[in-house]
Amino acid sequence: MNSIRTMTTIGDDYLSTENCRPIGDSRGFLDEPARGLISGDRGASSVAEIDSATECRRENAFLIQQTLKYAEDMARVYEEERMRRKALETANHELKAEVLARKEAEAALREIQQDLEKRVSERTNALTAANRRLQLEISQREQTEEQITNSLREKEVLLSEVHHRVKNNLQIISSLLALQCERVTDETVRGALMDSQGRIRSMALIHEQLYQSGNLSKIDFSRHVDGLAQALLKTHADRAASVVVKTSVDQVFLPVGMALPCSLIINELLTNCLKHAFPADQRGEVRIDFHKGENNRFSLVVSDSGRGLPKDLDWRGAQSLGLRLVVNLAEMQLRGKLEVSRSEGTTFKIEFYNRGQD
């Protein structure tokens, strides 16, 4: 705007020249031939006027050029100003559109934020309720677990007491048999009573170990076999000096349903070895091997270096209570396979599987 005012001022100065005649005056446009026709009475003043008109015409021509140039400059400035205004209007329109878009975006964001806050509030309330339910369920489970633990502890105490009482009752029966043996004079009856006493002692030993151990459902069979062998050697003290009993038992824990028949089998076979395998003072050896193989397969071997079973003895059909017990316990109770070898003494081998007995 300042440049327009400056140019306007300059144009006014050009058009306000006082020394020039008007452009439309005919006297200002006399040519040289006309000037020569002017005669005497005008004289020098007429020539001067003609010269002055010519000069004025030149000045007017110059002023016209300046005016045209000024008009061009003004047109250019006006066009630039118009373009600038148009650019400003476009920028202003774009700015308004951007402001409007931002306002719409802010409104959309506010709606999204409100919706998000609503969802967060609902989710928080749901999680709070779920947390309360979970805490209540945990509390109930803890109470239930405590009740189960107390009940289990009571049952363990009761079961331990049962094993203890069974062991005591078996010991009482064993003591009664021992007293009866002292009053019996018939050696056959006396031997039968002593055999029964040994069987009862082997069962009592299992219940005693269960009562003393922390596990009331399984027994350390290696420890049991050692204790059973020592007890039988003490019972047959007359043979303990000449017969050596060796054991090789894996460190396994057997359930009572497997440990009891295995213990009775070992008791019968070891008792037979001590009583019949070594006549007089013959020295010898008895081995007890118990090993666990693959797929829960167990192997029980009782062997001796004595004189062995008679060749004509049918050990399956024998009338001896001990052999009948061994066959029935091995094949019916343990559901195993029993083999007997008579070379270099006698060897009883029983193979069976742990079928999940309790």
Each residue's pLDDT tens digit, 189-217 = 877 888 788 788 877 777 777 767 767 67
> Are 4 and 77 contacting, i.e. CB atoms less than 8 angstroms apart?
yes
The per-residue pLDDT for 345 is 85
Q: What is the rounded CA–CA span in Å between residue 42 and residue 140?
A: 141
The per-residue pLDDT for 315 is 78
Q: Name, in order, each residue with C-beta under 8 angstroms of 322's C-beta and a sequence gap of 6 or more.
A: 195, 268, 271, 272
Residues of the chain with pLDDT > 70: what percent? 83
Model confidence band, residue 28 (pLDDT cutoffs 50, 70, 90): very low
Q: What is the rounded CA–CA span in Å between residue 119 and residue 109?
A: 15
Q: What is the rounded CA–CA span in Å between residue 153 and residue 225?
A: 29
> Are 207 and 167 contacting, i.e. CB atoms less than 8 angstroms apart?
yes
Over residues 81-100, mean pLDDT: 92
The identity of residue 269, as a single letter, is L
Distance, first Cα to last Cα, the chain: 112
Work out the number of other CB atoms within 10 angstroms of the CB of residue 30.
17
Nearest to 288 by CA among 216, 212, 233: 233
Q: What is the rounded CA–CA span in Å between residue 56 and residue 300?
A: 151
Q: What is the rounded CA–CA span in Å between residue 348 and residue 41?
A: 182
The per-residue pLDDT for 320 is 79
Model confidence band, residue 14 (pLDDT cutoffs 50, 70, 90): very low
> Are 295 and 353 contacting, i.e. CB atoms less than 8 angstroms apart?
yes
pLDDT digits (tens, 9 = 90+) for 334-348: 999 999 988 888 999
Q: What is the pTM of this model?
A: 0.55
The structure tokens listed for 279 are: 């006549």
> Are 203 and 184 contacting, i.e. CB atoms less than 8 angstroms apart?
no
